[in-house]
Amino acid sequence: MARLQVVLVGLGLYRKGRIASFVAVIIGLITLLFYYSWWFKDSRLYSPWLVLAFIFALFYGAFQLAGTWIIYLSASRRPRRARLPIPSALSVDVFVTAYNEDLDLIERCLAATCNMHVKHRTWLLDDAGRPELAELAERIGSGYLSRADNHDHKAGNINAALPRTQGDIIVIFDIDHVPDVRFLERTLGYFAVPRMGFVQVMLTFDYANGEWVAKAASDSSLDYYNPASLGADSLGSTTLVGSNALIRRTALESIGGYQPGLAEDLATSIALHADGWQSVYINKPLAPGLAPPDLTAWFSQQFKWARGVFELFITVYWRKLGKLTLGQKLFYGVRMTYYWIGLVFAIHLLATIGVLFGHSETALGEFQNYLLHLLPLAVATALIRMVVLRHHAYPTLKQVMGKGGVTQWKPLLLVLGTWPVYVLAWLMALLRVPVSFLPTPKRASSQGPNVAWIWPQMLAIVGIVTGMVVTQWTVGFRYYPLILAFAVVLVVGQIGVLVQARREASYL
Say whether pLDDT at 400 is over 50: no
Mean pLDDT of 93-97: 96
Return the sign of the alpha-carbon dihedral for residues 74, 80, 81, 86.
positive
* pLDDT score of 397: 53
Average pLDDT over every residue of 261-275: 96
Please tell me the distance from the alpha carbon of residue 392 to that of residue 387, in angstroms, as a whole number: 8
The strand pair at 245-248 and 205-206 is best described as unpaired
Quick one: pLDDT at residue 11? 43
* Of the listed ranges 45-49, 70-74, 196-200, the one predicted with least confidence: 45-49
* Opening angle at CA 496, ends 375 and 421, nearest 5: 80
Q: What integer is the mean pLDDT of 225-253?
A: 94
- Which residues sit opposite 94 in a β-bridge? 122, 171
What is the mean predicted confidence (pLDDT) over 475-492? 90
Q: Where are the domains of the chain?
A: 11-76+339-506, 92-293
Q: Tens digit of pLDDT for each residue in 284-305?
A: 889 998 888 888 888 889 999 9
Bridge partners of 246, per DSSP, are: 171, 199
Q: What number is the average pLDDT over the span 211-237?
A: 87
Residue 508 pLDDT: 41
CATH superfamily of 92-293: Spore Coat Polysaccharide Biosynthesis Protein SpsA; Chain A (3.90.550.10)
Q: Which range is least confidently modeled, 193-207, 250-264, 316-330? A: 193-207
Contact indicator for 122, 143 with CB cutoff of 8 Å: yes
Q: Is the predicted pLDDT of residue 439 greater than 90, yes or no? A: no
Is 10 a residue whose pLDDT tops 60? no
Inform me whether the pLDDT recorded for 208 exceeds 70: no
Find out whether 178 and 205 touch, Cβ atoms under 8 Å: no
Q: Report pLDDT for 19.
A: 83
Query: What pLDDT digit, counting tens, does each position of 137-195 carry?
Result: 999 999 999 998 888 999 999 999 999 999 999 999 999 999 999 999 999 999 999 99
Q: List the single range of 21-35, 405-419, 456-470, 493-507 with lowest mean pLDDT.
A: 493-507
- Give the torsion through C-alpha atoms of 65, 71, 74, 80, to 10 deg: -140
Grade residue 446 by pLDDT with cuts at 50, 70 and 90.
low
Please write the tens of the pLDDT for every residue from 357-370.
Answer: 987 888 899 999 99
Report pLDDT for 49.
82
Q: What confidence tens digit (pLDDT) does each residue in 375-398 have?
A: 999 999 999 988 888 777 665 554
DSSP structure class, residue 152: T
Please enumerate in sequence order all residues whose Cβ is within 8 A of that of 434, keeping only pairs 6 or more positions apart, or say none. none
Distance (Å, rounded) from C-alpha 452 to C-alpha 320? Answer: 36
As a whole number of angstroms, the distance between CA 155 and CA 245 comes to 14
List the 196-201 sheet strands across, edge first: 143-146, 121-126, 92-98, 169-174, 245-248, 196-201, 278-282
Condensed to tens digits (0 to 9), the pLDDT of residues 122-143 reads 999 998 888 999 999 999 999 9
Query: In this structure, how many other beta carbons lie within 10 angstroms of the beta carbon of residue 450?
Result: 14
